[in-house]
Chains A and B, each alone.
Chain A
């Protein structure tokens, strides 16, 4: 059942009808089958609800913290359909997957919705049945590392077992149904006694990594390599989407110290493997990334443009990529968000229902999505 209500004047309604009448509903509920119908320009500014069957597996990690709290409060996950995400989805639809993987980069000011756009695009890929390799925040891998082990595979590098195991667990939750179908292509030897043979399902590889914490970073590396090789093959029956949030961490600096010496990013196994994945020498998939200043180290607060955050090396590695700008809400989107909050009874303050209150909200938050969320939290 699909009911669409338009929150502002894209119909020929008289303008007085669109705002004061509070039973105008900005949401559109959709079953996953007609999900495809919702992803077009006609539905810009409206919210669509993620079916809970999709929500659990797809986003064990990767959503902004405040949004996760909102989902718990409202008991539903609603995404707003916005131009940046739609743009990337349209490219994904049009792209030729025998060509090298295309790289997309979401950039914008703090709190403008980059992570949400990324998650929207990832959800689209998930509904298409792709394998989702989602790294929630690359910055988490370069700072606050409690345990650093020398790598078993390459003695010059360092492993991060904790981060690797958490990520593998989440990866397994997301791609449960596909892991049993894809087989490994090579034989991996972990220790003298343990090895994974060729032809075993990938699920076994992942389980191996989760149970044997010591070799988990190497498992991550092997997983990435395998998926990359396999999706490049012409007969592959799956596509790979690599989604990295905060990709500028890969070329920034790290605060991890080993014996009082700062660790170089090249020496971390996880980062090294991820960088290899970022190169577009494989086919049959897409790489969607976002920039993030919030978690990044040693960057000024006002930096949000690609070159500032990626740096010289980052830009040269990511080049050529398609930068997609994620601006603050437009008028229509702001109205939609406001009506959504009203609809969910999130705005309790009596003055927030007035026209003046709405203007005040718009001014205070300067239509920045996260600011609006924070301010409405008080009302």
Chain B
């Protein structure tokens, strides 16, 4: 570049006024030049205006931006026409006074005009209820009628206890296949299955996290096979195997320890031993040893209450009310 060879600075040259008619000199500063198009001055100490790279010949003056579309939107417009497909946020098209961003000290979140934060995030303005309705109307010719006999959830559960859920994906791209379409989810309520006490406990242990206690629903999700049909068969197979296995009793199941038990059972627990010992020592039931005394003691109402409170405390865990109940029961046993 020639400027590196020059050792002195440039100043205003009269010839520039004829070459570039937007150039005007600045009073008081020979090293600055005033541009009439952008109404500002810039320095020319490093060369002629063209080299500063700001203006290349004449340029069309920037026109005023018009009113945003939001001003002209009627209240009962068709929103699906404004946002027919997934598009980034356009501040001029969304008639909502949205603000987004971190408020600087003493300020508020910035407005929507020119707000990059609003443009960055995904928006669902193309999926308003009106749009969804239109989608449903468009899909209706391809659907079959829902059977009229199945109008309540209970009836659906009764006739179709096993629910299978699969998802289809539509996208435009090089391929119509979507690997997520192979996932199959099978839901069934355990109360439908014929399980006795042992089978139910074993089933719950086998199944683990897949069972939801609140809704009593077992959910099996299969995605290990590449095709949906294979996954569906596998899920059905799993259900069958779980059912049959939980009915069988293996030899090693006899080694189940107290720590494995799902619920606390008071009979045979240290708590029972303690209270029996205590009551015997307090000689509450009168003299006598052996089974009858034990039976008698067990039958007393205080002991029953005590048993209930301890079971509740152990099963439910701690909370104020269960601890209070335990306290009352113990007080009764000691006649306080």
Contacts and interface: CB of A to CB of B under 8 A. Distances in A.
Our verdict on whether A and B bind, yes or no, reads: yes
Interface of A: 91, 94-95, 99-100, 102, 107, 280-281, 305-308, 316-317, 319-325
Contacts of A308: 318
Interface stretch (B14-22, B93-101, B202-210, B320-328): B320-328
Residues of B in contact with A, size category: 20 to 34
B319 A319 contact: no
B336 A305 contact: no
Given A100-B282, A321-B330, A316 B274 contact: yes
Contact of A94 (B319, B327, B336): B336
B90 to A, nearest CB: 49
B53 interface: no
B323 A319 contact: no
A112 B336 CA distance: 25
A328 to B, nearest CB: 14
Q: Which of B278, B306, B314, B318 has most A Cβ within 10 Å?
A: B318
A94 B282 CA distance: 16
B319 A305 contact: yes
B314 to A, nearest CB: 8
Nearest to B317: A307
B124 to A, nearest CB: 39
A20 B334 CA distance: 46
B244 interface: no
Contact of B327 (A95, A319, A324): A324
Contacts of A102: 334
Most chain A Cβ neighbours within 10 Å, of B281, B331, B336: B336
Contacts of A99: 281-282, 334
B317 A322 contact: no
Contacts of A307: 313-314, 317-318
Most buried by A among B271, B306, B320, B323: B323
Nearest to B306: A320
Provide the main secondary structure of the chain A interface.
mixed
A320 B336 contact: no
A285 to B, nearest CB: 14
Interface of B: 269-271, 274-275, 277-278, 281-282, 306, 310, 313-314, 317-320, 323-324, 326-327, 330-331, 333-334, 336
Nearest to B275: A320
Given A99-B282, A307-B313, A320 B330 contact: yes
A1 to B, nearest CB: 35
B282 A323 contact: no
B277 to A, nearest CB: 8
Given A95-B334, A99-B334, 16 more contacts: A95-B336, A100-B281, A281-B281, A306-B318, A307-B313, A307-B318, A316-B274, A317-B270, A319-B275, A320-B275, A320-B330, A320-B333, A322-B330, A322-B331, A323-B323, A325-B324
Contacts of B281: 99-100, 281
Given A99-B282, A280-B278, A307-B313, A319 B271 contact: yes
Contacts of A324: 327
Contact of A325 (B277, B323, B333): B323
Contacts of B282: 99-100
A278 to B, nearest CB: 12
A322 B331 CA distance: 7
Contact of A91 (B277, B306, B326, B336): B336
Residue with the highest number of chain A CB atoms closer than 10 Å, among B274, B275, B310: B274
Contacts of A306: 318, 323
A121 B327 CA distance: 19
Given A91-B336, A307-B313, A320-B274, A325 B320 contact: yes
A324 B331 CA distance: 11
A280 B336 CA distance: 17
The listed residue with most B CB atoms (<10 A of its CB), out of A91, A99, A107, A280, is A99
A95 B331 CA distance: 11
B323 A305 contact: yes
Contacts of A321: 330
Nearest to B282: A99
Contact of A322 (B310, B314, B327): B327
A232 to B, nearest CB: 11
